[in-house]
Chain A
Amino acid sequence: MKKIKYSEITPEKIYKNRRSFIKKIGLSAGSIAMTSFLSVNDALSQEEKKYTSYKDITTYNNYYEFGTSKSDPYINSQNFKTKPWNISIEGEVKNPIKISMEEISETIESEERIYRLRCVEGWSMVIPWMGFSLSKLLSKVTPTSKAKFVKFESVYDPDQMRGQRYPVLNWPYKEGLRIDEAMHPLTTVVTGLYNKKLPNQNGAPLRIFVPWKYGFKSAKAIVKIELVEKMPTSSWMWASPREYGFYSNVNPDVNHPRWSQATERVIGNDIFAPRVKTLMFNGYGDEVANLYAGMDLKKYF
Protein backbone atom coordinates (compact mmCIF):
# COMPACT_ATOMS: atom_id res chain seq x y z
CA MET A 1 0.00 0.00 0.00
CA LYS A 2 1.20 3.47 -0.80
CA LYS A 3 1.95 5.26 2.42
CA ILE A 4 0.40 8.67 2.80
CA LYS A 5 2.68 11.27 4.24
CA TYR A 6 1.69 12.70 7.58
CA SER A 7 1.59 16.19 6.11
CA GLU A 8 -0.92 14.96 3.57
CA ILE A 9 -3.49 13.81 6.04
CA THR A 10 -3.15 16.74 8.36
CA PRO A 11 -4.80 20.00 7.48
CA GLU A 12 -1.87 22.26 6.74
CA LYS A 13 -2.92 24.99 9.12
CA ILE A 14 -2.98 22.63 12.06
CA TYR A 15 0.14 20.88 10.81
CA LYS A 16 2.10 24.11 10.61
CA ASN A 17 0.75 25.50 13.85
CA ARG A 18 1.07 22.21 15.61
CA ARG A 19 3.00 23.71 18.46
CA SER A 20 0.58 26.50 19.16
CA PHE A 21 -2.28 24.06 18.74
CA ILE A 22 -0.79 21.74 21.36
CA LYS A 23 -0.20 24.72 23.60
CA LYS A 24 -3.78 25.89 23.26
CA ILE A 25 -5.27 22.51 24.03
CA GLY A 26 -2.68 21.96 26.72
CA LEU A 27 -3.80 25.09 28.52
CA SER A 28 -7.41 24.08 28.56
CA ALA A 29 -6.57 20.51 29.49
CA GLY A 30 -5.42 21.57 32.91
CA SER A 31 -2.20 21.75 34.78
CA ILE A 32 -1.31 18.13 35.46
CA ALA A 33 1.50 17.83 32.99
CA MET A 34 1.44 14.13 32.29
CA THR A 35 -2.27 13.63 31.79
CA SER A 36 -2.65 16.80 29.82
CA PHE A 37 0.16 15.70 27.54
CA LEU A 38 -1.61 12.43 26.85
CA SER A 39 -4.92 14.11 26.20
CA VAL A 40 -3.18 16.54 23.88
CA ASN A 41 -2.06 13.67 21.73
CA ASP A 42 -5.48 12.12 21.85
CA ALA A 43 -7.18 15.35 20.94
CA LEU A 44 -4.77 15.93 18.11
CA SER A 45 -5.24 12.49 16.60
CA GLN A 46 -8.99 12.79 17.05
CA GLU A 47 -8.88 16.04 15.16
CA GLU A 48 -6.85 14.52 12.34
CA LYS A 49 -9.03 11.46 12.03
CA LYS A 50 -12.06 13.60 11.42
CA TYR A 51 -10.84 14.82 8.04
CA THR A 52 -10.99 12.71 4.94
CA SER A 53 -7.50 12.30 3.48
CA TYR A 54 -6.37 14.63 0.70
CA LYS A 55 -5.85 11.57 -1.45
CA ASP A 56 -9.42 10.33 -1.07
CA ILE A 57 -10.91 13.78 -1.54
CA THR A 58 -8.99 14.27 -4.78
CA THR A 59 -9.22 10.79 -6.31
CA TYR A 60 -12.75 9.72 -5.45
CA ASN A 61 -15.04 12.13 -7.25
CA ASN A 62 -18.39 12.35 -8.95
CA TYR A 63 -17.79 14.73 -11.83
CA TYR A 64 -19.50 13.30 -14.90
CA GLU A 65 -17.99 15.93 -17.17
CA PHE A 66 -14.77 13.97 -16.82
CA GLY A 67 -16.32 10.48 -16.80
CA THR A 68 -18.82 8.48 -14.79
CA SER A 69 -16.40 6.37 -12.78
CA LYS A 70 -15.14 7.72 -9.44
CA SER A 71 -11.51 7.58 -10.57
CA ASP A 72 -12.18 9.24 -13.96
CA PRO A 73 -12.18 12.90 -12.83
CA TYR A 74 -8.70 12.67 -11.33
CA ILE A 75 -7.34 10.90 -14.42
CA ASN A 76 -9.10 12.99 -17.09
CA SER A 77 -8.98 16.48 -15.61
CA GLN A 78 -5.27 17.04 -15.15
CA ASN A 79 -4.86 19.11 -18.34
CA PHE A 80 -8.07 21.07 -17.90
CA LYS A 81 -7.39 24.79 -18.40
CA THR A 82 -8.75 27.06 -15.70
CA LYS A 83 -6.93 30.19 -16.85
CA PRO A 84 -8.29 32.56 -17.99
CA TRP A 85 -11.65 32.09 -16.26
CA ASN A 86 -14.56 34.50 -16.18
CA ILE A 87 -17.82 34.21 -14.33
CA SER A 88 -20.84 36.10 -15.43
CA ILE A 89 -23.33 37.10 -12.74
CA GLU A 90 -26.52 38.29 -14.38
CA GLY A 91 -30.32 38.14 -14.49
CA GLU A 92 -32.46 39.89 -11.90
CA VAL A 93 -29.68 42.13 -10.61
CA LYS A 94 -29.03 45.87 -10.55
CA ASN A 95 -25.55 45.65 -12.04
CA PRO A 96 -24.68 42.46 -13.93
CA ILE A 97 -20.94 41.74 -14.09
CA LYS A 98 -18.44 39.54 -15.78
CA ILE A 99 -15.75 38.95 -13.24
CA SER A 100 -12.40 37.20 -13.62
CA MET A 101 -11.19 34.55 -11.22
CA GLU A 102 -8.22 36.78 -10.33
CA GLU A 103 -10.50 39.62 -9.36
CA ILE A 104 -12.57 37.32 -7.17
CA SER A 105 -9.49 36.02 -5.35
CA GLU A 106 -8.15 39.54 -4.95
CA THR A 107 -11.31 41.12 -3.62
CA ILE A 108 -12.74 38.33 -1.45
CA GLU A 109 -10.57 36.50 1.01
CA SER A 110 -10.97 32.74 1.35
CA GLU A 111 -10.98 31.11 4.75
CA GLU A 112 -10.81 27.50 5.87
CA ARG A 113 -14.27 25.97 6.12
CA ILE A 114 -14.52 22.40 7.34
CA TYR A 115 -17.77 20.81 6.20
CA ARG A 116 -19.24 17.37 5.90
CA LEU A 117 -20.08 16.27 2.38
CA ARG A 118 -22.93 13.76 2.03
CA CYS A 119 -23.33 12.19 -1.40
CA VAL A 120 -26.76 10.98 -2.48
CA GLU A 121 -25.09 7.61 -3.14
CA GLY A 122 -24.78 7.06 0.61
CA TRP A 123 -21.21 8.03 1.44
CA SER A 124 -19.70 10.99 3.20
CA MET A 125 -16.44 12.89 3.65
CA VAL A 126 -15.20 15.68 5.89
CA ILE A 127 -13.45 18.27 3.77
CA PRO A 128 -11.37 21.27 4.83
CA TRP A 129 -12.44 23.59 2.03
CA MET A 130 -11.12 27.08 1.34
CA GLY A 131 -13.79 29.56 0.44
CA PHE A 132 -16.21 32.32 1.38
CA SER A 133 -19.96 32.86 1.61
CA LEU A 134 -21.74 33.15 -1.72
CA SER A 135 -23.60 36.17 -0.34
CA LYS A 136 -20.33 38.12 -0.55
CA LEU A 137 -20.09 37.47 -4.26
CA LEU A 138 -23.77 38.22 -4.83
CA SER A 139 -23.47 41.53 -3.00
CA LYS A 140 -21.33 42.71 -5.95
CA VAL A 141 -24.38 42.67 -8.24
CA THR A 142 -27.23 43.60 -5.85
CA PRO A 143 -30.11 41.21 -6.59
CA THR A 144 -33.47 42.88 -7.27
CA SER A 145 -36.73 41.97 -5.55
CA LYS A 146 -37.56 39.73 -8.52
CA ALA A 147 -34.57 37.49 -7.77
CA LYS A 148 -36.27 34.50 -6.13
CA PHE A 149 -33.83 31.81 -7.20
CA VAL A 150 -30.18 31.47 -8.15
CA LYS A 151 -29.17 29.32 -11.09
CA PHE A 152 -25.64 27.98 -11.47
CA GLU A 153 -24.24 26.90 -14.77
CA SER A 154 -21.03 24.91 -15.16
CA VAL A 155 -18.67 25.20 -18.09
CA TYR A 156 -19.46 23.43 -21.38
CA ASP A 157 -16.29 22.36 -23.13
CA PRO A 158 -16.49 18.87 -24.65
CA ASP A 159 -13.00 19.27 -26.13
CA GLN A 160 -11.55 19.32 -22.65
CA MET A 161 -14.29 17.43 -20.84
CA ARG A 162 -14.67 14.07 -22.48
CA GLY A 163 -17.74 13.13 -20.47
CA GLN A 164 -19.66 15.93 -22.19
CA ARG A 165 -19.27 14.21 -25.55
CA TYR A 166 -22.00 11.78 -24.47
CA PRO A 167 -25.58 12.56 -23.42
CA VAL A 168 -25.06 11.37 -19.85
CA LEU A 169 -26.73 14.54 -18.57
CA ASN A 170 -28.13 17.57 -20.34
CA TRP A 171 -24.99 19.64 -20.55
CA PRO A 172 -23.98 22.12 -19.34
CA TYR A 173 -24.56 21.08 -15.74
CA LYS A 174 -27.20 23.25 -14.12
CA GLU A 175 -28.09 23.62 -10.47
CA GLY A 176 -30.11 26.02 -8.41
CA LEU A 177 -30.93 27.35 -4.96
CA ARG A 178 -33.69 29.45 -3.51
CA ILE A 179 -32.44 32.99 -2.89
CA ASP A 180 -32.53 32.61 0.91
CA GLU A 181 -30.57 29.35 0.64
CA ALA A 182 -28.05 31.07 -1.60
CA MET A 183 -27.67 33.99 0.81
CA HIS A 184 -27.23 31.69 3.83
CA PRO A 185 -23.73 32.07 5.31
CA LEU A 186 -23.09 28.31 5.07
CA THR A 187 -23.50 28.39 1.29
CA THR A 188 -19.91 28.59 0.18
CA VAL A 189 -18.00 29.58 -2.91
CA VAL A 190 -15.09 27.16 -2.87
CA THR A 191 -11.66 28.15 -4.17
CA GLY A 192 -9.43 25.53 -2.55
CA LEU A 193 -9.05 22.64 -0.15
CA TYR A 194 -6.46 21.60 2.40
CA ASN A 195 -5.09 25.12 2.07
CA LYS A 196 -4.18 24.43 -1.56
CA LYS A 197 -5.57 25.64 -4.85
CA LEU A 198 -8.74 23.74 -5.75
CA PRO A 199 -7.76 20.68 -7.83
CA ASN A 200 -9.43 20.36 -11.26
CA GLN A 201 -11.23 17.15 -10.29
CA ASN A 202 -12.88 18.95 -7.38
CA GLY A 203 -14.36 21.70 -9.54
CA ALA A 204 -11.58 24.23 -10.17
CA PRO A 205 -11.31 27.09 -10.38
CA LEU A 206 -14.54 27.82 -8.54
CA ARG A 207 -17.43 25.76 -7.29
CA ILE A 208 -20.31 25.99 -4.88
CA PHE A 209 -20.64 23.96 -1.73
CA VAL A 210 -23.92 23.64 0.14
CA PRO A 211 -23.19 21.56 3.27
CA TRP A 212 -26.76 20.58 4.15
CA LYS A 213 -27.67 19.31 0.67
CA TYR A 214 -26.59 16.22 -1.24
CA GLY A 215 -23.30 16.69 -3.05
CA PHE A 216 -24.73 17.00 -6.55
CA LYS A 217 -26.37 20.32 -5.58
CA SER A 218 -22.89 21.83 -5.42
CA ALA A 219 -22.07 22.68 -9.04
CA LYS A 220 -18.43 22.67 -10.16
CA ALA A 221 -16.40 24.83 -12.57
CA ILE A 222 -19.04 27.56 -12.61
CA VAL A 223 -19.11 30.09 -15.46
CA LYS A 224 -22.53 31.62 -14.97
CA ILE A 225 -24.61 32.60 -11.97
CA GLU A 226 -28.03 33.83 -12.94
CA LEU A 227 -30.60 35.30 -10.59
CA VAL A 228 -34.05 34.32 -11.75
CA GLU A 229 -37.68 34.67 -10.79
CA LYS A 230 -38.81 31.08 -11.50
CA MET A 231 -37.47 27.87 -9.99
CA PRO A 232 -34.77 26.59 -12.33
CA THR A 233 -34.67 22.97 -13.50
CA SER A 234 -31.40 21.35 -12.52
CA SER A 235 -29.67 18.78 -14.71
CA TRP A 236 -30.55 15.99 -12.31
CA MET A 237 -34.20 17.06 -12.03
CA TRP A 238 -34.30 17.00 -15.79
CA ALA A 239 -32.77 13.51 -15.84
CA SER A 240 -35.12 12.04 -13.25
CA PRO A 241 -37.59 14.31 -11.43
CA ARG A 242 -38.87 11.39 -9.35
CA GLU A 243 -35.43 10.82 -7.85
CA TYR A 244 -33.96 14.28 -7.62
CA GLY A 245 -35.98 17.13 -6.24
CA PHE A 246 -35.07 20.79 -6.41
CA TYR A 247 -34.27 21.03 -2.70
CA SER A 248 -32.37 17.76 -2.24
CA ASN A 249 -31.71 18.47 1.41
CA VAL A 250 -29.97 15.63 3.20
CA ASN A 251 -32.92 13.83 4.76
CA PRO A 252 -32.75 10.32 6.25
CA ASP A 253 -36.57 10.10 6.14
CA VAL A 254 -36.91 10.51 2.38
CA ASN A 255 -35.94 7.31 0.62
CA HIS A 256 -34.18 7.31 -2.70
CA PRO A 257 -35.10 4.39 -4.98
CA ARG A 258 -31.45 3.37 -5.13
CA TRP A 259 -29.48 4.40 -2.10
CA SER A 260 -30.15 4.19 1.58
CA GLN A 261 -30.50 7.66 2.98
CA ALA A 262 -30.91 6.48 6.56
CA THR A 263 -27.25 5.56 6.88
CA GLU A 264 -23.98 6.35 5.16
CA ARG A 265 -20.46 5.03 4.77
CA VAL A 266 -17.64 7.29 5.85
CA ILE A 267 -14.96 7.45 3.18
CA GLY A 268 -11.59 6.24 4.36
CA ASN A 269 -12.97 3.87 6.98
CA ASP A 270 -11.85 0.28 6.78
CA ILE A 271 -13.91 -2.63 5.58
CA PHE A 272 -15.23 -3.59 8.99
CA ALA A 273 -16.35 -0.11 10.01
CA PRO A 274 -20.13 0.09 10.31
CA ARG A 275 -22.36 2.52 8.47
CA VAL A 276 -23.22 5.63 10.45
CA LYS A 277 -26.63 7.25 10.84
CA THR A 278 -27.33 10.09 8.43
CA LEU A 279 -28.36 13.31 10.14
CA MET A 280 -31.17 15.58 9.05
CA PHE A 281 -29.71 18.48 7.00
CA ASN A 282 -26.40 16.60 7.23
CA GLY A 283 -26.09 17.81 10.82
CA TYR A 284 -26.58 21.51 9.99
CA GLY A 285 -30.19 21.63 11.19
CA ASP A 286 -29.52 24.25 13.87
CA GLU A 287 -28.32 26.65 11.19
CA VAL A 288 -30.70 25.91 8.31
CA ALA A 289 -33.90 24.24 9.55
CA ASN A 290 -35.61 27.63 9.87
CA LEU A 291 -35.32 28.11 6.08
CA TYR A 292 -37.91 25.37 5.67
CA ALA A 293 -40.28 26.17 8.52
CA GLY A 294 -43.77 24.93 7.70
CA MET A 295 -42.68 23.07 4.55
CA ASP A 296 -43.44 19.38 4.06
CA LEU A 297 -39.94 18.19 3.25
CA LYS A 298 -41.21 14.79 2.14
CA LYS A 299 -43.16 16.53 -0.59
CA TYR A 300 -40.50 19.11 -1.37
CA PHE A 301 -37.59 16.70 -1.32
Chain B
Amino acid sequence: MNKFLKPGIFILSLIPFLVIISKIYFNQLGPEPVKEITHHTGEWTLIFICLTLAMSPLKRFTNLVIWIKFRRMLGLFVFFYATIHLITYVVIDYRLDWQQIFNDVLKKKYIFIGFSAWLLLIPLAITSSQKMAKLLRHNWKKLHRLIYIIAIFGSLHYIWLSKTIFFKPLIFMLIVLVLLALRIKIKKRETNYG
Protein backbone atom coordinates (compact mmCIF):
# COMPACT_ATOMS: atom_id res chain seq x y z
CA MET B 1 0.00 0.00 0.00
CA ASN B 2 2.65 2.49 1.07
CA LYS B 3 4.57 1.63 -2.08
CA PHE B 4 1.88 3.26 -4.18
CA LEU B 5 1.34 6.32 -2.04
CA LYS B 6 4.27 8.33 -3.34
CA PRO B 7 3.65 7.71 -7.06
CA GLY B 8 -0.03 8.38 -6.38
CA ILE B 9 0.70 11.77 -4.85
CA PHE B 10 3.11 12.51 -7.69
CA ILE B 11 0.37 11.92 -10.26
CA LEU B 12 -2.17 13.93 -8.25
CA SER B 13 0.29 16.81 -8.02
CA LEU B 14 0.63 16.84 -11.78
CA ILE B 15 -3.12 17.30 -12.33
CA PRO B 16 -3.09 21.13 -12.13
CA PHE B 17 -0.36 21.10 -14.77
CA LEU B 18 -2.32 18.74 -17.01
CA VAL B 19 -5.43 20.88 -16.55
CA ILE B 20 -3.68 23.96 -17.86
CA ILE B 21 -2.12 22.04 -20.76
CA SER B 22 -5.50 20.68 -21.80
CA LYS B 23 -7.05 24.14 -21.45
CA ILE B 24 -4.39 25.53 -23.76
CA TYR B 25 -4.90 22.67 -26.20
CA PHE B 26 -8.69 22.91 -26.24
CA ASN B 27 -8.65 26.71 -26.20
CA GLN B 28 -10.62 26.95 -22.95
CA LEU B 29 -8.62 29.57 -21.15
CA GLY B 30 -11.34 32.19 -21.45
CA PRO B 31 -11.13 35.88 -22.34
CA GLU B 32 -7.71 36.47 -20.82
CA PRO B 33 -5.73 33.29 -21.52
CA VAL B 34 -2.33 34.51 -20.32
CA LYS B 35 -3.74 35.77 -17.06
CA GLU B 36 -5.56 32.48 -16.59
CA ILE B 37 -2.29 30.52 -16.84
CA THR B 38 -0.52 32.98 -14.55
CA HIS B 39 -3.25 32.85 -11.92
CA HIS B 40 -3.68 29.09 -12.12
CA THR B 41 0.01 28.33 -11.67
CA GLY B 42 0.39 31.04 -9.03
CA GLU B 43 -2.47 29.70 -6.98
CA TRP B 44 -1.16 26.14 -7.19
CA THR B 45 2.27 27.31 -6.11
CA LEU B 46 0.65 28.71 -2.97
CA ILE B 47 -1.37 25.55 -2.42
CA PHE B 48 1.77 23.43 -2.66
CA ILE B 49 3.57 25.75 -0.24
CA CYS B 50 0.75 25.17 2.24
CA LEU B 51 0.79 21.40 1.63
CA THR B 52 4.55 21.29 2.13
CA LEU B 53 4.26 23.25 5.35
CA ALA B 54 1.43 21.01 6.55
CA MET B 55 3.52 17.83 6.57
CA SER B 56 5.44 18.24 9.79
CA PRO B 57 2.42 19.39 11.84
CA LEU B 58 0.54 16.42 10.39
CA LYS B 59 3.32 14.13 11.48
CA ARG B 60 3.03 15.54 14.95
CA PHE B 61 -0.74 15.30 15.22
CA THR B 62 -1.06 11.84 13.69
CA ASN B 63 2.14 10.38 15.07
CA LEU B 64 2.89 9.02 11.60
CA VAL B 65 6.31 9.54 10.05
CA ILE B 66 4.99 8.87 6.55
CA TRP B 67 4.00 12.53 6.01
CA ILE B 68 7.63 13.60 6.02
CA LYS B 69 8.30 11.28 3.10
CA PHE B 70 6.06 13.39 0.87
CA ARG B 71 7.53 16.69 1.92
CA ARG B 72 10.43 16.81 -0.51
CA MET B 73 8.23 15.94 -3.48
CA LEU B 74 5.63 18.52 -2.55
CA GLY B 75 8.40 21.08 -2.09
CA LEU B 76 9.73 20.32 -5.55
CA PHE B 77 6.25 20.84 -6.94
CA VAL B 78 6.30 24.30 -5.34
CA PHE B 79 9.39 25.00 -7.40
CA PHE B 80 7.83 23.40 -10.49
CA TYR B 81 4.67 25.52 -10.39
CA ALA B 82 6.51 28.68 -9.34
CA THR B 83 8.84 28.27 -12.31
CA ILE B 84 5.99 27.83 -14.81
CA HIS B 85 4.35 30.86 -13.19
CA LEU B 86 7.52 32.90 -13.72
CA ILE B 87 8.05 31.63 -17.28
CA THR B 88 4.48 32.55 -18.16
CA TYR B 89 5.09 36.08 -16.96
CA VAL B 90 8.51 36.52 -18.56
CA VAL B 91 8.05 34.65 -21.83
CA ILE B 92 4.35 34.60 -22.68
CA ASP B 93 3.13 37.82 -21.07
CA TYR B 94 6.10 40.14 -21.50
CA ARG B 95 7.83 38.27 -24.34
CA LEU B 96 11.30 38.71 -22.88
CA ASP B 97 10.90 42.47 -22.83
CA TRP B 98 13.72 42.74 -20.28
CA GLN B 99 13.48 46.46 -19.87
CA GLN B 100 9.85 46.27 -18.83
CA ILE B 101 10.45 43.17 -16.68
CA PHE B 102 13.41 44.81 -14.96
CA ASN B 103 11.28 47.87 -14.37
CA ASP B 104 8.48 45.76 -12.92
CA VAL B 105 10.79 43.91 -10.54
CA LEU B 106 12.16 47.16 -9.19
CA LYS B 107 9.01 49.27 -9.17
CA LYS B 108 6.26 46.86 -8.24
CA LYS B 109 6.62 45.44 -4.80
CA TYR B 110 4.46 42.40 -5.51
CA ILE B 111 6.72 41.40 -8.38
CA PHE B 112 9.82 42.15 -6.35
CA ILE B 113 8.71 39.93 -3.51
CA GLY B 114 7.42 37.21 -5.83
CA PHE B 115 10.66 37.13 -7.73
CA SER B 116 12.62 37.07 -4.47
CA ALA B 117 10.57 34.10 -3.32
CA TRP B 118 11.40 32.25 -6.54
CA LEU B 119 15.12 33.02 -6.13
CA LEU B 120 14.99 31.65 -2.59
CA LEU B 121 13.42 28.47 -3.89
CA ILE B 122 16.44 27.70 -6.10
CA PRO B 123 18.87 26.68 -3.32
CA LEU B 124 16.12 24.56 -1.78
CA ALA B 125 15.47 22.76 -5.04
CA ILE B 126 19.19 22.21 -5.65
CA THR B 127 19.80 20.81 -2.18
CA SER B 128 16.64 18.75 -2.03
CA SER B 129 18.25 15.37 -2.60
CA GLN B 130 19.15 12.89 0.15
CA LYS B 131 22.79 13.20 -0.88
CA MET B 132 22.78 16.94 -0.39
CA ALA B 133 21.04 16.59 2.94
CA LYS B 134 23.82 14.28 4.12
CA LEU B 135 26.45 16.57 2.74
CA LEU B 136 25.09 19.68 4.43
CA ARG B 137 24.15 17.93 7.70
CA HIS B 138 22.58 20.29 10.21
CA ASN B 139 22.99 23.21 7.82
CA TRP B 140 20.47 21.51 5.56
CA LYS B 141 17.71 21.96 8.12
CA LYS B 142 18.64 25.58 8.63
CA LEU B 143 18.74 26.25 4.91
CA HIS B 144 15.39 24.65 4.33
CA ARG B 145 13.74 26.88 6.91
CA LEU B 146 13.83 29.40 4.07
CA ILE B 147 10.49 27.91 3.12
CA TYR B 148 8.93 29.90 5.99
CA ILE B 149 10.13 33.13 4.43
CA ILE B 150 9.10 31.93 0.99
CA ALA B 151 5.60 31.17 2.30
CA ILE B 152 5.26 34.67 3.77
CA PHE B 153 6.61 36.24 0.57
CA GLY B 154 4.23 34.18 -1.54
CA SER B 155 1.24 35.17 0.53
CA LEU B 156 2.26 38.86 0.47
CA HIS B 157 2.77 38.61 -3.28
CA TYR B 158 -0.87 37.54 -3.61
CA ILE B 159 -2.19 40.23 -1.24
CA TRP B 160 -0.25 43.00 -2.96
CA LEU B 161 -1.32 42.07 -6.45
CA SER B 162 -5.01 41.89 -5.57
CA LYS B 163 -7.30 44.90 -5.62
CA THR B 164 -8.76 43.87 -2.29
CA ILE B 165 -7.68 41.29 0.27
CA PHE B 166 -11.11 39.62 0.06
CA PHE B 167 -11.22 36.64 0.00
CA LYS B 168 -8.64 34.32 -1.47
CA PRO B 169 -5.54 36.37 -0.56
CA LEU B 170 -6.85 36.63 3.00
CA ILE B 171 -7.54 32.89 3.22
CA PHE B 172 -4.06 31.99 1.97
CA MET B 173 -2.46 34.40 4.41
CA LEU B 174 -4.42 32.91 7.32
CA ILE B 175 -3.51 29.34 6.34
CA VAL B 176 0.18 30.24 6.06
CA LEU B 177 0.10 32.03 9.40
CA VAL B 178 -1.59 29.09 11.12
CA LEU B 179 0.90 26.64 9.64
CA LEU B 180 3.79 28.80 10.81
CA ALA B 181 2.25 29.36 14.24
CA LEU B 182 1.95 25.61 14.74
CA ARG B 183 5.72 25.41 14.41
CA ILE B 184 6.37 28.00 17.08
CA LYS B 185 4.42 25.87 19.53
CA ILE B 186 6.20 22.69 18.51
CA LYS B 187 9.55 24.33 19.03
CA LYS B 188 8.68 25.65 22.46
CA ARG B 189 7.63 22.20 23.53
CA GLU B 190 10.84 20.73 22.23
CA THR B 191 12.95 23.21 24.12
CA ASN B 192 10.89 22.69 27.27
CA TYR B 193 11.43 18.99 27.19
CA GLY B 194 14.90 19.14 25.78
Q: Does any Cβ of A come within 8 Å of B183's Cβ?
A: no
Q: Is the CB of B32 within 8 A of A123?
A: yes
Most B Cβ at <10 Å: residue of A59, A239, A274: A274
Q: Is the CB of B164 within 8 A of A270?
A: no
Q: Does any Cβ of A come within 8 Å of B59's Cβ?
A: no
Question: Considering the complex, which residues of chain A in the window 50-91 have a beta carbon less than 8 Å from any beta carbon of chain B?
Answer: 56, 59-60, 64, 68, 70
Q: Is the CB of A267 within 8 A of B92?
A: no
A166 to B165, alpha carbons, bound, how many Å?
11
A56 to B29, alpha carbons, bound, how many Å?
12
Q: Which of A121, A239, A255 is within 8 Å of B164, CB to CB?
A: A239
Q: Which residues of A contact B166 (CB under 8 A)?
A: 68, 166, 168
Q: Is the CB of A271 within 8 A of B37?
A: yes
A275 to B110, alpha carbons, bound, how many Å?
20
Nearest CB of A to B120, in Å:
22
A272 to B91, alpha carbons, bound, how many Å?
10
Nearest CB of B to A238, in Å:
12
Q: Does any Cβ of A come within 8 Å of B61's Cβ?
A: no
Q: Which of B26, B92, B160, B161 is within 8 Å of A271, CB to CB?
A: B92
A268 to B30, alpha carbons, bound, how many Å?
8
Q: Is the CB of A257 within 8 A of B109?
A: yes
A56 with B34: in contact, given A257-B108, A262-B100 (CB under 8 Å)? no
Q: Does any Cβ of B come within 8 Å of A258's Cβ?
A: yes
Q: Is the CB of B28 within 8 A of A267?
A: no
Q: Is the CB of A271 within 8 A of B29?
A: yes
Nearest CB of B to A155, in Å:
20
A263 to B100, alpha carbons, bound, how many Å?
10
Closest residue on chain A to residue B167 by CB atoms: A68
Nearest CB of B to A244, in Å:
10
Q: How many B residues, CB 8 Å from partner?
A: 28
Q: How many A residues, CB 8 Å from partner?
A: 28
Q: Which residues of B contact A60 (CB under 8 A)?
A: 30-32
- Count, A-B residue pairs, CB within 8 A: 58
Q: Does any Cβ of B come within 8 Å of A1's Cβ?
A: yes
Main secondary structure of the interface of A (DSSP, over half): loop
A168 with B109: in contact, given A265-B35, A271-B34, A275-B93 (CB under 8 Å)? no
Q: Is the CB of B32 within 8 A of A265?
A: yes
A230 to B94, alpha carbons, bound, how many Å?
42
Q: Is the CB of B164 within 8 A of A268?
A: no
Q: Does any Cβ of B come within 8 Å of A36's Cβ?
A: no
Question: Considering the complex, which residues of chain A in the window 27-44 have a beta carbon less than 8 Å from any beta carbon of chain B?
Answer: none
A269 to B34, alpha carbons, bound, how many Å?
10
Q: Which residues of B contact A262 (CB under 8 A)?
A: 100
User: Could you mark each residue 248-280 of chain A with 1 if its beta carbon is under 8 Å from any beta carbon of chain B, else 0?
Assistant: 000000010110101101011111101100000
Q: Is the CB of B110 within 8 A of A258?
A: yes
Q: Which residues of A contact B110 (CB under 8 A)?
A: 257-258
Instruction: List 6 extra interface pairs beyond A255-B107, A265-B34, A267-B32, CB under 8 A.
Output: A68-B167, A70-B31, A257-B108, A258-B163, A262-B100, A271-B37
What are 5 A-to-B residue pairs whose CB atoms are below 8 Å? A68-B164, A260-B104, A265-B32, A265-B34, A267-B31
B residues bordering A, Cβ < 8 Å?
24, 26-35, 37, 92-95, 100, 104, 107-110, 160-161, 163-164, 166-167
Give the top 3 A-B pairs by smallest Cβ distance, nearest first: A271-B33, A56-B31, A60-B31
